[in-house]
């Protein structure tokens, strides 16, 4: 029978005011008060913060301390003494080992409510604003099978080829070839490719020895077009038994549109290398969002949840309030998704991105979609916008969709010089969103914040924030 270690144990611990008094391997009982930004349960033991993965608010749990830092501790959940009514049984058999999802054990409606609260807490912390109009999170009717792309490393386990994800904090691969948040087609492709590689005895990459050939399986499907792309990431350009591999994959996966090979010879955690080779079929597959058409090469970025992406972009259009007379700047435009979505409702759109390949794709996508009032330029958004403002360029609306690190501070300064009527901030990180808005509040007022659940069963939350220039 497991017993709890308490403060009344033999021997004395030196206690320093304000310091952690817990010890690694110590077993504690604690009440869980809330969820952290990564979906972990948070409670207090001896007035010290303890993070417990898998624990939910309202629960009393028993956990073993695994890490003690300067002002917090982490613990492993051992058992639940009092269970939350919002706890559900995860449908995925490898959920607790995989690490790809973090909230399958939480009722979906509760996930949506927590994500809204996460956005609210971020604004309260970084702006001091407590009464912002933060709307209920927009979720999915069926929050499963939504991902259109997988990137799964392969390895040999017990003489068999395995494809999956690394368990958190380890280099132990967990088989995720039947992932419930992936589109069924991508799961099927992974299983067939895995089995075919094994049948043909094609060498699998060994990370420690930096040997072998096939490193990663990357399937992608166009939800609207049905086109299917398979990319094999290899260490070497030479792919043993290439002809037999292609023939068998085409026979077993008749819906394939494209088979690509990406070569990554480096000893690196990065998935893709610089060279991509067409093995069979089309160089790029096509996908559609509304009336906008996109050509997708293996390395091209595209939103992973098309159903929610359409909702997200409609929210951007609603916040932009376009009448057909506005000049719109799409900063961090990528392959032009948001800019092209807005173009039919705007006078003109200018998309800016620092990656030349993304701008080339954006221009191609505009041509494919028959959109003539959108132009795209290569450059740092903050520099391009600042230079244009000096020349008298005044956009009516600026849309920013930055990475998780948020907007570059110089872009925020450029926005405060350009002073567009509206700024629409698309964010994948509530903390950096709130920090950036705290700067923009010098000239702008937040009119609306709309969280969107782009990645159900995970701790990620997207949001669309509408800021208007103060009178």
Active site residues: 428
- DSSP code for 344: G
Cα dist from 285 to 78, 223, 272, 280, 299, whole Å: 47, 11, 18, 12, 12
Strand pairing class (256-263; 228-234):
parallel
CA angle 446, 447, 453 (to 5 degrees): 90
How is residue 234 written in tokens?
Answer: 């290899």
Among 263, 261, 265, residue whose Cα is nearest residue 277: 261
Cα(146)–Cα(150) distance, integer angstroms: 11
Cα dist from 284 to 34, 231, 298, 443, whole Å: 45, 11, 8, 44
Bridge partner residues of 374 (DSSP) = 349
Cβ 9 vs Cβ 28: under 8 Å = no
Name the phi and psi angles at 119, rounded to 5.
Answer: -65, -45
Name the phi and psi angles at 175, rounded to 5.
Answer: -65, 115
User: Can you tell me whether residue 264 is helix, strand or coil?
Assistant: coil
Name the phi and psi angles at 59, rounded to 5.
Answer: -95, 150
Q: In what order do the strands lie in the sheet with 374-378?
A: 374-378, 348-353, 327-331, 397-400, 422-427, 462-469, 444-452
Go through the chain and tell me how many residues it has: 471
**What DSSP string describes 240-263?**
TTHHHHHHHHHHH-TTEEEEEEEE
Strand pairing class (374-378; 444-452):
unpaired
Cα(151)–Cα(17) distance, integer angstroms: 47
Among 121, 250, 147, residue whose Cα is nearest residue 193: 250
């Amino acid at each position: 029978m497991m017993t709890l270690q308490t403060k009344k144990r033999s021997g004395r611990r030196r206690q320093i005011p304000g310091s952690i008094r817990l010890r690694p391997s110590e077993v504690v009982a604690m009440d869980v008060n809330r969820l952290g930004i990564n979906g972990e349960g948070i409670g207090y033991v001896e007035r010290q913060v303890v993070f417990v993965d898998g624990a939910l608010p309202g629960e009393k749990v028993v956990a073993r301390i695994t890490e003690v830092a300067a002002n917090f501790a982490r613990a492993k959940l051992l058992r639940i003494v009092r269970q939350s009514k919002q706890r559900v049984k995860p449908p995925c058999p490898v959920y607790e080992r995989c690490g790809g999802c973090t909230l399958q054990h939480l009722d979906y409606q509760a996930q949506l409510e927590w994500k809204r609260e996460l956005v609210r807490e971020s604004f309260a912390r970084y702006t001091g604003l407590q009464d912002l109009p933060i709307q209920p999170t927009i979720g999915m009717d069926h929050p499963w099978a939504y991902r259109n792309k997988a990137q799964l490393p392969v390895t040999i386990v017990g003489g068999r080829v395995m494809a999956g994800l690394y368990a958190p904090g380890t280099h132990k691969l967990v088989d995720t070839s039947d992932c419930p948040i992936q589109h069924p087609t991508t799961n099927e492709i992974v299983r067939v490719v895995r089995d075919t590689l094994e049948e043909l005895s094609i060498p699998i990459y060994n990370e420690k020895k930096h040997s072998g050939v096939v490193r990663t399986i990357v399937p992608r499907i166009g939800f609207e077009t049905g086109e299917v792309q398979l990319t094999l990431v290899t260490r070497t350009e030479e792919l043993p038994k290439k002809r037999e591999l292609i023939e068998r994959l085409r026979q077993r996966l008749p819906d394939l549109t494209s088979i690509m090979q990406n070569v990554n010879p480096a000893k690196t955690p990065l998935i893709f290398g610089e060279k991509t080779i067409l093995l069979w079929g089309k160089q790029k597959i096509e996908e559609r969002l509304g009336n906008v058409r996109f050509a997708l090469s293996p390395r091209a970025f595209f939103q992973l949840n098309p159903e929610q992406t359409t909702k997200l972009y409609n929210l951007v259009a609603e916040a932009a309030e376009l009448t057909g007379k506005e000049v719109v700047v799409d900063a961090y435009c990528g392959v032009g998704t948001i800019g092209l979505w807005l173009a039919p409702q705007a006078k003109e759109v200018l998309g800016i991105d620092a990656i030349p390949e993304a701008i080339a794709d954006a221009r191609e996508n505009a041509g494919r979609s028959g959109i003539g009032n959108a132009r795209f330029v290569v450059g740092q958004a903050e520099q391009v916008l600042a230079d244009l403002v000096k020349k008298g360029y005044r956009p009516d609306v600026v849309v920013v969709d930055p990475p998780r690190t948020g907007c570059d501070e110089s872009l925020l300064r450029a926005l405060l010089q350009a002073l567009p009527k509206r700024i629409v901030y698309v964010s994948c990180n509530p903390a950096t969103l709130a920090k950036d808005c705290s700067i923009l509040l010098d000239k702008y007022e937040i009119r609306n914040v709309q969280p969107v659940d782009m990645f159900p069963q995970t701790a990620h939350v997207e949001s669309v924030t509408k800021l208007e220039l103060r009178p």
